[in-house]
């Protein structure tokens, strides 16, 4: 057994009640999970470690076979179960058959870019030439706007389809109505009871939708829409004499948008990503291939590559450059153009990183003062010279550092602030922002439970912080009361093998809502530790039999667990982290990504 006596449901691992990062290390498996793991192992002949990982993620013994082979055919619902889906499908099918000009209006993030690319590539397969408009984050802001709609109409658009936006675009769609331009909305953002008047509004998170698909990213809803559209065009006989579009070939883009929008990798989302990663490995999309190359993605793609290497580069265009670059990259059929765009996005990403570092230093100082002065439940930071395209990243960093919801706001010369917020699990930030709009504290705002955007006047900022504190303090306190790291199993360096990773891959892919397995390495000697790159700590763990394991602790030279590694050379420490394959120089080796460290002599402080 891993733990000690005490909390039977979540026993301490290695007795660690307080780690370097002030976490209690607890077994991910509860007592009932352990029984389920045993049943999975015995019923299906699976290794114990795989059964434990599956049971800890809610897989029941009877569903184990389907879980290990997630099938789109099995998990995909009938598209018609979504409200307004049939109306949306019928209107777009009419446009396809009549050869009408279709304009696509997408969001400027990865989900919006992939949604736009998926839809555009489908229409291109049918011989249409859709136009894609991605709004400029600073000039146009989020979502459809009147001038852009008028411009698209003047360009000949007869149907406007909005992707990953549009559910609250009342004024913009009033402009479309005056132009007699039909609008179809495909979105996934949370909305209130009142919706804009459009031809069809497909959103599994609208309050009258009972499909149960609210966990999908916009690109997942878009793909579901294309399944319905494909079915309707087939019913109408539109494919006679020609090959149907290959929907499965689009799953690499669906996987990218799903991972980068941080929706839970469960059910249909997990099937999207599993199949999409296999398509991506075939390197069929010129843009994705070029971007993977400039991002130095080695080996088979995994969610980490999508979320931390490829996605940020696409987002860089929307944050500080040309917002349309991402969609253009993902739809191009010219490998030379793909390479040029990928290199430009890589350059923009480097510029974004430099700007982020300066902003983060300023925001960190402001947050520190706020916590010392009044310890707010929700952090609000802001400045005049911040770039509006980077505030979301700053909010995310503040949230991670201070373990509470955080907003970063960029104010312009008129005192108008554009802000972005990130939350912690258990605190619905989107709901609070919508309440603040109703209270008149914000000009506009909305979002998800974990992320939200807002527009606020400078003179309202203090009142807004007080409102968030009053509204969310109990939720924040409950969500952050217990700091813990969940451990799946204890390992030795000798047991961290490529065979183990191959086995664990069967329960993947891992990401939001489907946590990557975390392993504890008890009392291993730190034979080497030093700072490399931009504040990373590289270390080597050694076992008593002489076997070793390379470890990396990202951006941690100034963090408690990084410092403990650096100061622990030659000593035995408990180390916890996730395993991955390092393919540097073409020689695959297991690597540990360190999440936390504990001193065996100081685990019960």
Q: For a pLDDT cut of 90, what percent of the chain falls above it?
A: 87
Q: Where are the domains of the chain?
A: 1-28+488-605, 30-60, 75-346, 374-480
Distance of CA 48 to the CA centre of its chain: 30
Residue-level pLDDT at 277: 97
Domain 1-28+488-605 matches domain 75-346 at the CATH topology level: no
Query: Domain 1-28+488-605 is classified in which CATH homologous superfamily?
Result: Nucleic acid-binding proteins (2.40.50.140)
> What is the structure's pLDDT at 604?
66
Once rounded to an integer, what is the mean pLDDT over residues 112-126? 97
Domain 75-346 listed as CATH 3.90.1640.30: yes
Whether pLDDT at 550 is above 80:
yes
How far apart CA 140 and CA 399 sit, in angstroms, is 27
Q: What is the pLDDT of residue 190?
A: 84
* pLDDT recorded at residue 144: 96
CA torsion angle 531 537 540 541 (round to 10): 140
pLDDT higher than threshold 80 for residue 486: yes
Question: What pLDDT, on a 0 to 100 scale, did the predictor assign at position 2?
Answer: 43
The predicted-structure confidence for 130-184, as pLDDT tens digits, reads as follows 999 999 988 888 899 999 999 999 999 999 999 999 999 999 999 999 999 999 9
**Euclidean distance between CA atoms 491 and 487, whole angstroms:** 11
Cβ atoms of 68 and 91 within 8 Å: the answer is no
The angle formed by the CA atoms of residues 460, 421 and 596, to the nearest 5 degrees, is: 135
Q: 374-480 has which CATH code?
A: 3.10.310.30
Q: What's residue 289's pLDDT?
A: 97
Residues 138 and 119 sit within 8 Å (Cβ to Cβ): no
Higher pLDDT: 584 or 289? It is 289
Among residues 400, 361, 396, 348, the alpha carbon closest in space to that of 21 is found at 400
How large is the average pLDDT for residues 62-86?
95
Cα–Cα distance between 524 and 544 in angstroms, integer?
8
**Best CA proximity match to 494, nearest among 536, 539, 455, 548:** 548
Question: What are the pLDDT digits (tens) for 589-598?
Answer: 999 999 999 9
In this predicted model, which residue has the larger pLDDT, 341 or 605?
Answer: 341
Segment 21-31 shows an average pLDDT of 93
Q: Are 157 and 181 in contact (CB under 8 A)?
A: yes
Sign of the torsion formed by the C-alpha atoms of 601, 602, 604 and 605? positive
- What is the model's pLDDT at position 468? 96
The arithmetic mean of pLDDT across residues 100-118, rounded, is 97
Which residues are CB-neighbours of 2 under 8 A, at least 6 positions away? 11, 13, 14, 27, 487, 489, 490, 520
pTM of the model: 0.89
Mean of all residue pLDDT scores within the chain = 93
Mean pLDDT of 278-300: 95
Half-sphere exposure of 138 (CA within 13 A, CB side): 15
What is the rounded average pLDDT of the residues 217-243?
95
pLDDT tier, 449 (very low <50, low <70, confident <90, very high otherwise): confident
pLDDT digits (tens, 9 = 90+) for 353-373: 999 999 999 999 999 999 999
Helices (H) and strands (E) in the chain, counts: 21, 18
Task: Report the pLDDT value the prediction gives residue 583, as an integer from 0 to 100.
Answer: 75
Average pLDDT, integer, range 213-234: 97
Over 80: is that where the pLDDT of 69 sits?
yes
Query: Taking the CB of residue 339, how many other CB atoms lie within 10 A of it?
Result: 19
pLDDT given for residue 298 in this prediction: 80
pLDDT score of 6: 40
d(CA 70, CA 272): 9
Q: Give the pLDDT score at 7.
A: 41
Q: What is the mean pLDDT of residues 258-268?
A: 93
How do residues 402-422 score in pLDDT, each as one tens digit? 999 999 999 999 999 999 999
Alpha carbons 196 and 166: distance in angstroms, whole number:
8
* Confidence class for position 605, pLDDT limits 50, 70, 90: low
């Amino acid at each position: 057994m891993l733990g000690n006596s005490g909390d039977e449901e979540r026993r301490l691992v290695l007795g660690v009640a307080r780690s370097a990062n002030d976490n209690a290390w607890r077994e991910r498996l509860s007592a009932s999970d352990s029984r389920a793991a045993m049943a999975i192992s015995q019923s299906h002949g699976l290794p114990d470690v795989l059964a434990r990982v599956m049971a800890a993620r809610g897989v029941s013994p009877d569903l184990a076979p389907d879980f290990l082979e997630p099938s789109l055919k099995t998990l995909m619902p009938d598209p018609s179960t979504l409200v307004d889906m049939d109306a949306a499908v019928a209107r777009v099918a009419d446009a396809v058959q009549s050869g009408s000009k279709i304009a696509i209006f997408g969001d400027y993030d990865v989900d919006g870019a992939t949604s736009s690319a998926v839809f555009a590539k489908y229409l291109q397969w049918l011989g249409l030439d859709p136009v894609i408009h991605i709004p400029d984050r600073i000039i146009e802001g989020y979502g459809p706007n009147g001038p852009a709609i008028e411009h698209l109409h003047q360009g000949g658009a007869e149907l406007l389809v909005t992707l990953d936006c549009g559910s609250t675009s009342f004024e913009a769609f009033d402009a479309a109505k005056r132009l007699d331009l039909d609008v179809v909305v495909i979105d996934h953002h949370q909305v209130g009871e009142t919706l804009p008047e459009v031809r069809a509004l497909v959103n599994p998170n609208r309050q009258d939708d009972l499909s149960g698909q609210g966990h999908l990213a916009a690109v997942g809803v878009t793909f579901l829409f294309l399944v319905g559209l494909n079915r309707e065009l087939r019913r109408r006989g539109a494919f006679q004499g020609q090959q149907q579009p290959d929907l499965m070939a689009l799953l690499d883009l669906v996987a990218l948008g799903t991972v980068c929008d941080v929706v839970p990798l469960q059910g249909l989302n997990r099937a999207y990503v599993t199949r999409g990663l296999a398509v991506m490995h075939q390197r069929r999309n010129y843009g994705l291939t070029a971007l993977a190359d400039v991002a130095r993605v080695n080996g088979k793609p995994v969610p980490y590559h999508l979320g931390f290497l490829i996605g940020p580069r696409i987002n860089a265009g929307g944050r500080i450059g040309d917002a349309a670059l991402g969609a253009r990259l993902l739809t191009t059929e010219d490998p030379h153009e793909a390479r040029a765009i990928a290199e430009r996005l890589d350059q923009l990403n480097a510029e974004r990183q430099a700007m982020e570092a300066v902003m983060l230093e300023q925001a960190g100082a402001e947050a520190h003062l706020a916590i010392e002065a009044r310890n707010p439940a929700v952090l609000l930071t802001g400045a005049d010279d911040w770039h509006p395209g980077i505030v979301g990243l700053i909010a995310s960093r503040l949230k991670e550092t201070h373990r509470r919801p955080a907003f970063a706001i960029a104010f312009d010369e008129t005192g108008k602030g554009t802000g972005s917020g990130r939350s912690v699990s258990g605190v619905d930030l989107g709901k609070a922002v919508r309440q603040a709009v109703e209270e008149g504290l914000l000009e506009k705002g909305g979002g998800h439970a974990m992320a939200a955007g807002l527009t606020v006047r400078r003179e309202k900022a203090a009142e807004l912080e007080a409102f968030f504190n009053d509204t969310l303090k109990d939720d924040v306190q409950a969500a952050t009361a217990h700091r813990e790291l969940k451990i799946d199993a204890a390992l030795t360096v000798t047991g961290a093998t490529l065979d183990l990773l191959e086995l664990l891959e069967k329960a993947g892919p891992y990401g939001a809502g489907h946590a990557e397995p975390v392993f504890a390495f008890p009392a291993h000697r730190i034979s080497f530790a030093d700072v490399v790159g931009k504040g990373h700590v590289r270390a080597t763990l050694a076992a008593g039999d002489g076997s070793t394991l390379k470890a990396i602790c990202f951006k941690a030279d100034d963090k408690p667990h990084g410092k403990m590694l650096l100061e622990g050379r030659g000593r035995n420490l408990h180390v916890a982290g996730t395993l991955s394959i390092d393919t540097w120089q073409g020689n695959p080796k297991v690597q540990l990504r360190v999440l936390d460290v504990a001193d065996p002599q100081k685990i019960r402080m």
